[in-house]
Structures are given as structure tokens and as C-alpha cells.
Amino acid sequence: MRISIVVFTCIVSFISCQKKTGGADNTLPPNYNIDLRFNNIFANSNLTLGNTYTNVSSEPLVIQNFQYYISAIKLQQEDGNWYSFPESYFLVSAKIDSSKTIKLVSTNSKFKALQFTIGVDSAKNVSGVQTDALDPMNGMFWTWNSGYIMAKLEGVSTASTVAGNYFTYHIGGFRQANSVLRTVTLPFANNTNIAVGKKAVVLINADAATWFYGASNLKIADNAICHSAGALAMRIADNYKNMFTLVSVTNQ
């Protein structure tokens, strides 16, 4: 009797909670989990905020903040078609560990490449105030000249000639003439086959050192500040579009 009461109590508790969690529908195709994990580095070292690094122009710098938007995520299927994740907008912030993993769910299991945009598409820049990763509260939005800061790198450097030796690169601009939106494609070495019940972990390095070279060298001594859309922002975007490299794709 005593046991039956306890069991009944448990059942009631379970039933009343069940609706919230929702039952799995067997008629749906299985979902596959894909985690994109971003690992921030500076050249050959892991990037730690507050540590000193040296850029390609031999300027020492301490990075205090590093953030970038990842959006329009697509995975290329075996047949060459792209599987899109609509409304995918994520803000990766060096200060927030949880932001460095982007969790995706797909009904496909085999992929051969990853593609995404660094930044936020023009439509989202002009269609009102957004929520979550795109909430202007995140400090990645210019209020006087509407538009997102697509990527941000801030810190101090003895090479900087501005007050406080700061360098602040806020890279934005969504209008065609000065767009800093850049697309990154990372082919997988082998086709990735996600096993049911497991997830694929795509490990990506994001190298902040690339901001300072590539299309053109960026010297902190020459340009310690970029706070608006335009030629300098586009130059830096042309550098940082190379910051992502694929490390590995593993089934876990």
C-alpha cells in the first residue's frame, strides 16, 4: 500500500510535468546535433584576455575584448547543396565561454563543408530592434548611425598614440558601398557522418592576429581606432575574413 501511494505520487508528478518537456514524435526524421566550437587564438597561442601578444608589425598588445557575429550558417551536403540554418545569429564573446559553442540541429547527417557570414545581414540592420544575440543591449550596435558592429577587437598597446594607449577596432558597415560582411567557407577534410545519438563537434580556431595582416598590414601606430563604416573598416574586414581555420570535425 505504502509503495503504491508513493508510485502514484510519482506518476502524478511525472504526468503534470510531461507536457512541458514534450514527447518525441516518432514520425519525424531523426535530428543530428552539430556543435560549432570557436577557440580564440593569437598566432600560435591560445588567446587569453589580459595577456600580451605581438602582432606582425612587432607591436606588443594586450587584448581586453574580442567579439564577433556569426550568422547565415550553412552546411554543404554530399550532393553539393547547402543546408541553411535560417535566422541563425550568434555573438561569440571572448568573455563568455558559453557563447563560444553554437549548437545546431539538422535532419541531415552527412556534410562536407561549413559556411557562415562574419556579421549581420543588412536587413537585420534596418528592420527595427532585435532580441537575443542581436539585442542592441549587447553593445554591438551603433545608435547614431544605425548598424551592427560586426566584430570588435579592443585593448591597449604601447604602439598606440591615442589617449590611454588604447586601440579599439569596431568593424561595421552594412550598406553596399562600405559593407564589411564577409563570408567564410571551411571545407571539411572528409565527409562528416554524424552517427545517430551522437553529435559532430566542429572545432574552429579564430585567430585575432589575422586582423593585423593579410590584405594589408594594420599598424596600431597608424590606426589605433576604427569606430565607423568606411575604407579602414573594410580593410580590417578583408584581413579578419581569414581568421577562421578548421581544426577538426569529430563525432562525440
Partner 1 sequence: MMRFLTILSCLYCCLILVVACKKKEEDVTVPAPTAINFSVPKGWPAPVYNFSSNPLTEQGVVLGRHLFYEGKLSKDGQFPCASCHQQFAAFATFDHPLSHGFNNTFTTRNAPGIYNLAWHSNFHADGGIANLDQQPLAPLTAQNEMAESIENVINKLRADEKYRTLFKAAFGDETINTQRMTKALSQFMVTMVSANSKYDMVKNGMATFSLPEQLGYNLFLSKGCGKCHTEPLFTDLSYRNTGLPIDPTNIDIGRMTITSNKADSLKFKVPSLRNLTLTYPYMHDGRMVSIDQVLEHYRSGVINGPTTDSLVRNKIPLSNFEIGQIKAFLYTLTDTAFVKNSAFSQPM
DSSP notation for 176-224? GGG---EEEEEEEEEEEEPPTT-EEEEEEEEEGGGGGSSSS---TTT--
**81 makes contact with partner 1 (CB under 8 A):** no
Question: Smallest gap, in angstroms, from Cβ of residue 19 to partner 1?
Answer: 8
Count the residues in the chain.
252
Residue range at the interface with partner 1 (CB under 8 A); choices 9-17, 51-59, 87-95, 106-114:
9-17
Q: CB nearer to partner 1: give 130 or 168.
A: 130
5 binds partner 1 (CB under 8 A): yes
Contact range with partner 1 by CB under 8 A, out of 6-14, 35-43, 48-56, 81-89: 6-14
Report if residue 123 touches partner 1, rule: CB under 8 A.
no
Q: Mask 145-164, x = binds partner 1 (CB under 8 A)?
A: xxx-----------------
Work out whether strand 182-193 and strand 166-172 pair parallel, antiparallel, or are unpaired. Answer: unpaired
CB hemisphere CA count around 104 (13 angstroms) = 30
Neighbouring residues of 247: CB distance < 8 A, sequence distance ≥ 6: 39, 203, 204, 205
Q: Which is nearer to partner 1, 78 or 135 (CB)?
A: 135
Helix %, strand %, coil % for the chain, to 5? 20, 40, 35
Q: Is 96 in the site for partner 1 (CB under 8 A)?
A: no
Number of amino acids touching partner 1 (CB under 8 A): 33
The one among 206, 229, 243, 249 contacting partner 1 by CB under 8 A? 229
Pairing, β 199-207 against β 32-42:
parallel
Q: Does 8 bind partner 1 (CB under 8 A)?
A: yes
Residue 55 or 172 with smaller CB distance to partner 1: 172
List 50, 144, 163, 164, residue binding partner 1 (CB under 8 A): 144
Question: Which residue, 45, 85, 93, 76, is CA-closest to 207?
Answer: 45
Residue 140 C-beta: closest distance to partner 1, Å: 11
| Set of cell numbers at residue 126 | 534596418
Q: Are the C-beta atoms of residues 54 and 218 closer than 8 Å to each other?
A: no
127 lines the binding site for partner 1 (CB under 8 A): yes
Buried b vs exposed e over 153-184: b needs ≥16 C-beta within 10 Å?
Answer: bbbbbebbeeeebebbbbbbbbeeebbbbbeb
Binding residues vs partner 1 (CB under 8 A): 1-2, 5-6, 8-9, 12-13, 16-17, 19, 125-131, 135-137, 141, 143-147, 177-178, 228-231
